[in-house]
Structure formats: structure tokens, C-alpha cells
């Protein structure tokens, strides 16, 4: 299933569509990715002023579950046919990897459409050993493109207290050549940026502290809302949003963060706690109700 989000004004004839393509749950056992994706979707369909501004200027296309058969069967990483789909983007089979084949064809079609600018591809995953949310990006010979690729995760780090830019890395490991991030990063031009968004299965550490905060379903969805909100900063649409404090929609009541006594350690043990000076700009922002 593909979910498009935009206002009809975006589709007037001759207008260039700026597209953000988001996929999730290609690895069926990585359930947190579904909650992050749910947070993005719930926010984008809301009437929050930021959501409306985003729908007016961007087209979001979201495939929230790329491995539905694997999820149904309770598999951890593979599909019904036993394939790790995130290693088959180079040449997906319409028979063995139908979801990948369909999404890839759609992305190529948009890439070849002169009226469409595919500017972001984000594939949402969950990580079993790392803490916090973080991203993987690509390495480019073009230094300007490489530096511009770092802008979005830096902005997200300011908006989401559980996102770690210092844990974000850019690589082109051979073993990752078949992933969506690597394949599309090589296919699309210099105006497109491709990321893998990872989120911890268990906890995050807020900069300047040593206490691990266990993730909850609401916390994962909050990260998704902050991912969506970051596009407002990236495209400098902030002046279009009324400067009023409007609570973000929540799906359930959030409990106060629980500090696990066994997950304490020196501040230097986590990337975000380096020097205890992680940006706190967002802590004073009225929109921190995300």
C-alpha cells in the first residue's frame, strides 16, 4: 500500500512536485519502525499548522510496510521466500520481491518525470544494539553534496531530544550495496538525499545526562512527528506557520520517562553526552510538545 499526502493545489498542471518518499518495515522484526512511521502519518493528516504547510509545499509518498508477508509470518528479517529484501534493490524480481519491484519502478518513474523532484528517500528501521535514533547516509565525491546531506539529520537533532547526530554516519560499505539507501543514492542525482533512519529497540539518552530512558510506543511516534516537523525547517517554511502554541496530536497517554537504574554510566559513554553540550534550542521552543 502506498499512502500519498498533499493538498490538491500541489497537483496543478505544470507545477513541479517536490516529493518525500518514506518506506518502513522492510525487516519485519523491527517493529519500532512501524510506530515511527505511524507518527509521521498521523501528523501529516492532522490539521496542525505545520502539517498543513508541509502538505501545501511537498508531496509525501509513504509505503509503511515493504515486507507484509514477513510481518504476517512473524519473521525477524526475511520475507515469505526467505529473502532479506533490503539486499535486493539492485535487481528486484517482480515474483520474489514484488513490493521492492513496485516501489523501485515508481521511484524510477518519478525520477524520469521532469515535473517531479524526488528530493528525499528515508527508509525506517530499528536497531538492536545502538541507542537513540540516528541515520545512515551515503558518501559522495562531490563535497558540496556530501555536506548538504548532513543538513537534515543536524536539524532533526535539534528537534528531537532522542535523535543523535554524533551516532549518524555516512558510508558506502560493500555489504550494504543492495540497500535502498545505497542503491537510490547512486541512482538519483545531486538534488536527492537518501537515508536509513534507525531507532533503538530499547532506550535513548538525552544529551547531558547519563540515564537511559526506555522507548515507548508514544516515544517512537513522537520521533516520527519530529521527522515530519524537520522538513518545515529544511525548506524554511517556518514563516508560514502561525506562531501559536498548538499541542501535537497524541494517540495515547504518555507516561513520565522511567530511568532504569541498571543503565547508568559515565556521561562520556554516549555520543550525545560529549561535553554535555548537546543543543538545547528545542527545549525552549513552544512547539516542543511534539
- The stretches of the chain forming alpha helices (DSSP H) are 32-44, 49-57, 68-73, 98-111, 143-149, 151-159, 180-187, 217-234
How far is Cα 65 from Cα 257, in angstroms, rounded to an integer? 29
Angle at 154 between CA 38 and CA 161, to 5 degrees: 55
Catalytic residue, chosen from 198, 217, 218, 254, is 198
How far is Cα 209 from Cα 226, in angstroms, rounded to an integer? 21
Q: Measured between alpha carbons, how far is residue 8 from residues 17, 110, 265 in Å?
A: 11, 18, 51
Query: In the annotation, is 198 catalytic?
Result: yes
Q: Which residue, chain included where needed, has cell 518502513?
A: 24
Parallel, antiparallel or unpaired: strands 212-214 and 203-205: antiparallel
What are the φ/ψ torsions at residue 182 (nearest 5 degrees)?
-70, -45
Whole-number CA gyration radius for the chain? 19
Could you give the residue numbers annotated as active site? 198
Amino acid at each position: 500500500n502506498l499512502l500519498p499526502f498533499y493538498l490538491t493545489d500541489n497537483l496543478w498542471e505544470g507545477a513541479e512536485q517536490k516529493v518525500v518518499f518514506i518506506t518502513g518495515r522492510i525487516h519485519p522484526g523491527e517493529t519500532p519502525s512501524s510506530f515511527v512511521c505511524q507518527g509521521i502519518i498521523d501528523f501529516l493528516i492532522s490539521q496542525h499548522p505545520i502539517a498543513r504547510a508541509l502538505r501545501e509545499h511537498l508531496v509525501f509518498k509513504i509505503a509503511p510496510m515493504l515486507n507484509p508477508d514477513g510481518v504476517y509470518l512473524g519473521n525477524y528479517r526475511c520475507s515469505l521466500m526467505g529473502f532479506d529484501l533490503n539486499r535486493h534493490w539492485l535487481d528486484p524480481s517482480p515474483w520474489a520481491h514484488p513490493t521492492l519491484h513496485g516501489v523501485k519502478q515508481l521511484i524510477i518513474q518519478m525520477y524520469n518525470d521532469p515535473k517531479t523532484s524526488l528530493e528525499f528517500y528515508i527508509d525506517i528501521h530499528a536497531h538492536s544494539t545502538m541507542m537513540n535514533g540516528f541515520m545512515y547516509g551515503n558518501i559522495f565525491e562531490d563535497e558540496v553534496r556530501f555536506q548538504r546531506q548532513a543538513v537534515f539529520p543536524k536539524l532533526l537533532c535539534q528537534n528531537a531530544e532522542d535523535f543523535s547526530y554524533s551516532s549518524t554516519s555516512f558510508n558506502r560499505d560493500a555489504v550494504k550495496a543492495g540497500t535502498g539507501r545505497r542503491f537510490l543514492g547512486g541512482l538519483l542525482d545531486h538534488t536527492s538525499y537518501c537515508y536509513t533512519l534507525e531507532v533503538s529497540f530499547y532506550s535513548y539518552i538525552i544529551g547531558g545526562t547519563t540515564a537511559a530512558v526506555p522507548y515507548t510506543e508514544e516515544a517512537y511516534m513522537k520521533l516520527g512527528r519530529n521527522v515530519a516537523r524537520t522538513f518545515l525547517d529544511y525548506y524554511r517554511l517556518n514563516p508560514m506557520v502561525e506562531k501559536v502554541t498548538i499541542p501535537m496530536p497524541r494517540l495515547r497517554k504518555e507516561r513520565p520517562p522511567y530511568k532504569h537504574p541498571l543503565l547508568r554510566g559515565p556521561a562520556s559513554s554516549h555520543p550525545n553526552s560529549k561535553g554535555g553540550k548537546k543543543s538545547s534550542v528545542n527545549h525552549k521552543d513552544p512547539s516542543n510538545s511534539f
